[in-house]
Amino acid sequence: MSVHAPLADAPAAGADNGRYDGASMDAIQQHYDLSNDFYALWLGRSMAYSCAMWSGPEDDLDAAQLRKFDYLVEGARATGARRVLDVGCGWGGLRERLVGTHRVEQVVGLTLSDSQAEWVRARASDGVEVHVQDWLDHTPTEPYDAVISIGAFEHFAREGLTRAARVAAYREFFTRCRGWLRPGGRIAIQTNIKGNNVRMDRQTVADLLFIIERIFTESEIPALSEVIQGSERIFDVVSVRNDPDHYARTCAQWLDGLRRNRERALELVGEEQGAEYERYLSATVGHFERRHLGLARLLLEAV
Ligand SMILES: C[S@@+](CC[C@H](N)C(=O)[O-])C[C@H]1O[C@@H](n2cnc3c(N)ncnc32)[C@H](O)[C@@H]1O
């Protein structure tokens, strides 16, 4: 077996508390364990909880989600691969696409959500491997051909860290991934990024604070430069796309789905939380439209 770094436990040297500081399992579960039935009302057939990749005005959400999966799978050169790691696997939409369309033999999914893991296990045929496990604790016994991580990077650095501490956390993630990959293997990452080029108005600041306090607690979205800096000397950048309009359209579709199913949604999560999700999705459409947020899709190759 030839890999760049040991596959077993690598020490988290350099972190203040011995661990790199992402959102805690409690914070992640507060959001993702809310109710599978609630999320199923508005996420669409693939249950992808991440930006889709749209093509033309007639496109629909399900097709756009599959296009996104295919873009990242092909970019990671995972088609026909034996083993692929999905960091932050959500409700398993990528796994289904990897196995069903891209002929991948083995997909290992990591999530911090018990409800998501149950959902995946209930739907998967033989060979499914989903772990309720932080990537920091992942110790594979065999290398992977590719790593894909969609919409999880936003949770890898806790809100309020310094830039240096965030970059250190991202660097640790990339170091681990390279250690798990075969030489020359690729990682495909999709993540929200801060849109640092536009001044925010008061309403935008208030909405972002509300989202940090009530929706995605403990998480802080990276700047693109932090992601790239964290990967330097570990991965080469193959390509970067920024698709904020794709996320505005995705959130608008989710909001539409949630509103169409409001009655059932309120039965599942209650008035207060239903209203908060409508506010969060509606505000987020505007954040992407006005470029307060961006959506990065990065393809990187191990050096
Ligand atoms: C927005 S969801 C995206 C899910 C999926 N990739 C998709 O596109 O639908 C974020 C996922 O990241 C996972 N996650 C967050 N922090 C994590 C960590 N430190 N280790 C493993 N998974 C993590 C969550 O449990 C959740 O499954």
| Domain 26-50+58-302: assigned CATH number | 3.40.50.150
Domain ranges of the chain: 26-50+58-302
Residue 84 DSSP label: E
Q: Distance, CA 150 to ligand 1 centroid (Å)? A: 7
At 80, is the pLDDT very low, low, confident or very high (cuts 50, 70, 90)?
A: very high
**Rounded Cα gap, residues 167 and 164, in angstroms:** 5
| % of the chain residues with pLDDT over 70 | 93
Q: Distance, CA 86 to ligand 1 centroid (Å)? A: 9
- Cα–Cα nearest to 225, from 245, 247, 240, 205: 240
Ligand 1 proximal residues by C-beta, below 6 Å: 22, 28, 32, 48-50, 87-90, 93, 110-113, 116, 134-135, 150-152, 155
Model confidence pLDDT, tens digit, residues 185-208: 999 999 999 997 888 999 999 999
Residue 276 has pLDDT above 80, yes or no: yes
Of 129 and 5, the one with more pLDDT: 129
Q: Distance, CA 90 to ligand 1 centroid (Å)? A: 5
Ligand 1 atom 12 nearest Cα: 88
Model confidence pLDDT, tens digit, residues 148-185: 999 999 999 999 999 999 999 999 999 999 999 999 99
